């Protein structure tokens, strides 16, 4: 039957919502049985919803929701597990705040039905009476049910019938265990992640139920504290004007559409804190990727094709999609930005320079003044031009060229008007008349920091502490410590070149920035040198594999090293999203992250860079050699040895955990008896 189910799930034959009949349910509400709860009003229902989300769960999902949104793996306009008879009958929680219990149990029943083709009626009363958490009729969280199903197992309803009461004794030891849950997965709150996860089974999830809630496309885009838990069984992009989730409720089959409701995507917070129960992971797709990265070493105008092999070792079809990630918010020079709210962005890590740096003296003009040229102590490359000094203005900006301008009326970026060659971490009409100072720190080697500390705006409705970090040759980071509370929508944030014709605007007169946040500006070549054959998407049946050809063409690119990211999304619940670095090295001369030897090309890079606590160093070996990979500080002292031994020709990666060393610039050296290669990385805590 499992093989038959695999074929069934692959075909995904779709029918209209109005023809959907839930497995085991009567054909119409008129023929469904009633119970003592069926006459409860909506007001009575809302009084007994009972969802309580623990704070640690909220923090866990907050981090999860920052992950990149994956590519949609199945573009079918409609998908519904009821079409395959894989959803158990609707039940009624009654006058007990046990929606969390019914959501988890209902999703678990479906996961068993999908894997084993067996429909169990599991006991919600067991969960109420026997869970080891704090969940009860006064409210609870799905994990208390899932943990019980994993630690003890689930018993049948017939052994512990539901009484809508948490005072019923726990007698699970007198019952036979029907099924044991293996695990459950948290699902990010975005449309593609939820749809992709649904390919493996119904999800327990949450929403906010309001006083006028109804079953037919209830649309309420705002939500406060979530108060109800349900089961998403599918989606329909043609419902509710813009697409809707198909949802199994726990208010009995006489409510709604035979116990179900359809709700627009995003309405009432539906989809937040979703979880996928995993009953038998061998029945799920499982992806194995044969490479962690791809490195192409090409002569000028050369071309090469390599294959990335994906294998499905699981028991269900694996949906996959491979794309080349291109930077967003990119200007014509190649700069783009990411902030600490982005999964690949910088970590916020404030650097206090009030004691290590020098306070900038603005003399008798603390309201509008310019420091003039202050030496960096090194060359810094900005829009292809090398600068060795910086000018700082009281109004929240700095420039590599403008040593007299004091412009306070911020405007959109880029702009030909001065100031140009501009760094604008928080350009507004700021003043040092009442409080605040500006500091500059340089190590005279490769790092400069400018910090505006406790600076007022002229409206006196906000106070601002922020900084610019420059790390040679071209790393730019803005950090924001304490900001506001007023004035957050009266500033320009971004940067531009020396003519004001190229630049990036992060925000202009809009409330974007907040405290404890960071923005990094990065430089990247357009990804026009890599191509994925056949669009890089498809389905891999169980126990089969596929090869995806990837071609890099040097074309007219000048000698050097070019980096990109391959983003791999898949329906493997344990690995739904991966990023694979792709590197193209062009030409015969030494480049920033590689060098030619008589035996071949050696590449060396780390990512992310700058980094907070951990980074991955990737290197290639052209021939069997004794390899040493070590980390050094600025004094030349070795702080770590990551590799020391013989390596065959190939590409390798190793992680470095820098939790126990201080922030700063470090060098990593890859060496054999015949060659060595040194690179720089920046640790920001």
Active site residues: 99, 228, 249
Q: Which residues contact 364 (CB under 8 A, 6 or more apart)?
A: none
Cα–Cα distance, 533 to 526 (Å, whole number): 19
Q: What is the dihedral of CA 177, 179, 185, 188, to 10 degrees?
A: -100
- For 441-462, b/e burial (b = at least 16 CB within 10 A) is bbbeebbbbbbbbebbbbeeeb
Q: Is 493 exposed, middle or buried (0-12, 13-18, 19+ CB in 10 A)?
A: buried
Nearest to 203 by CA among 275, 145, 264: 275
8-state DSSP, 216: B
Residue 389 neighbours by CB distance under 10 Å? 15
As a 3-state breakdown, the chain gives helix, strand, coil percent values, each rounded to 5, of 15, 40, 45
Beta-sheet strand order (sheet of 544-553) = 287-289, 303-312, 544-553, 530-532
Beta-sheet strand order (sheet of 600-607) = 594-597, 600-607, 614-621, 650-657
Cα–Cα distance, 677 to 673 (Å, whole number): 12
Contact 638, 660 (CB under 8 A): no
Contact 250, 283 (CB under 8 A): no
Question: What DSSP assignment string belongs to 671-682?
Answer: E-SS-EEEEEEE
Owner of token pair 């990036």: 504
Q: Which residues contact 67 (CB under 8 A, 6 or more apart)?
A: 188, 343, 577
């Amino acid at each position: 039957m499992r093989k038959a189910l695999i074929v069934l799930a692959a075909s995904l034959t779709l029918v209209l919502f109005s023809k959907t009949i839930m497995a085991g349910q009567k054909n119409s509400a008129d023929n469904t049985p009633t119970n003592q709860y069926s006459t409860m009003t909506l007001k009575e229902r809302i009084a007994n919803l009972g969802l309580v989300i623990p704070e640690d769960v909220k923090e866990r999902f907050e981090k999860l929701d920052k992950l990149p949104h994956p590519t949609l793996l199945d573009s079918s306009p409609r998908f519904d597990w009821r079409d395959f008879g894989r959803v158990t009958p609707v039940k009624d929680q009654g006058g007990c705040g046990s929606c969390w219990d019914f959501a988890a149990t209902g999703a678990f029943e479906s996961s068993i039905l999908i894997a084993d083709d067996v429909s169990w009626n599991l006991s919600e009363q067991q969960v109420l009476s026997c869970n080891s958490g704090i969940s009860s009729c006064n409210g609870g969280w799905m994990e208390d049910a899932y943990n019980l199903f994993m630690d003890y197992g689930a018993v049948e309803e017939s052994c512990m019938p539901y009484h809508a009461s948490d005072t019923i004794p726990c007698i699970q030891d007198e019952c036979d265990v029907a099924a044991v849950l293996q695990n459950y997965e948290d699902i990010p709150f975005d449309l593609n992640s939820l749809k992709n996860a649904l390919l493996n089974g119904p999800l327990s999830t949450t929403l906010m139920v309001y006083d006028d809630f109804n079953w037919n496309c209830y649309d309420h885009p705002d939500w406060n504290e979530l108060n109800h838990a349900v089961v998403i069984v599918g989606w329909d992009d043609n419902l509710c004007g813009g697409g809707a989730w198909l949802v199994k409720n726990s208010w009995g089959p006489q409510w709604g559409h035979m116990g179900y409701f359809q709700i627009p995507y995003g309405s009432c917070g539906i989809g937040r804190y979703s979880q996928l129960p995993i009953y038998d992971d061998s029945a799920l797709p499982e992806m194995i990727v044969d490479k962690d990265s791809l490195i192409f070493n090409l002569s000028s105008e050369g071309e090469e094709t390599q294959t990335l092999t994906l294998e499905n070792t699981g028991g269900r079809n694996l949906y996959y999609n491979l794309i080349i990630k291109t930077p967003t918010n990119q200007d014509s020079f190649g700069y783009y930005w990411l902030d600490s709210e982005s999964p690949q962005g910088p970590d916020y890590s404030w650097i206090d320079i009030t004691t290590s740096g020098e306070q900038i003296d603005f003399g008798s003009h603390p309201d509008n003044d310019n420091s003039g040229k202050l030496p960096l102590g090194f060359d810094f490359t900005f829009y292809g031009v090398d600068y060795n000094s910086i000018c700082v203005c009281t109004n929240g900006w700095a420039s590599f060229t403008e040593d007299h301008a004091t412009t306070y009326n911020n405007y959109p970026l880029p702009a030909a008007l001065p100031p140009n060659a501009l760094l604008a971490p928080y350009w507004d009409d700021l003043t040092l008349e009442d409080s605040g100072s500006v500091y500059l720190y340089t190590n005279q080697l490769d790092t400069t920091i400018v910090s505006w500390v406790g600076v007022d705006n002229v409206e006196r409705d906000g106070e601002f502490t922020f900084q610019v970090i420059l790390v040679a040759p071209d790393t730019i980071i803005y950090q924001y410590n304490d900001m506001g509370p007023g004035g957050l929508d009266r500033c320009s944030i971004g940067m531009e070149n020396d003519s004001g014709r190229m630049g990036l605007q992060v925000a202009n007169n809009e409330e974007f920035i907040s405290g404890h946040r960071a923005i990094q500006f990065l430089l990247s070549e357009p990804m026009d040198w890599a191509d994925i054959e056949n669009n890089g998407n498809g389905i891999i049946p169980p126990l089969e594999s596929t090869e995806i050809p990837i071609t890099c063409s040097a074309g007219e690119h000048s000698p050097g090293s070019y980096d990109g990211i391959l983003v791999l999304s898949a329906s493997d619940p344990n690995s739904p999203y991966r990023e694979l670095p792709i590197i193209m090295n062009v030409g015969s001369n030494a480049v920033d992250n590689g060098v030619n030897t008589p035996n071949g090309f050696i590449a060396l890079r780390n990512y992310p860079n700058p980094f907070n606590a951990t980074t991955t160093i990737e290197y290639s070996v052209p021939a069997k050699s004794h390899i040493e990979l070590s980390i050094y500080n600025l004094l030349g002292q070795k702080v770590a040895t990551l590799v020391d031994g013989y390596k065959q020709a190939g590409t390798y990666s190793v992680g470095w955990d820098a939790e126990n060393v201080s922030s700063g610039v470090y060098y990593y050296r890859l060496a054999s008896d015949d060659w060595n290669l040194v690179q720089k990385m920046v640790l920001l805590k």
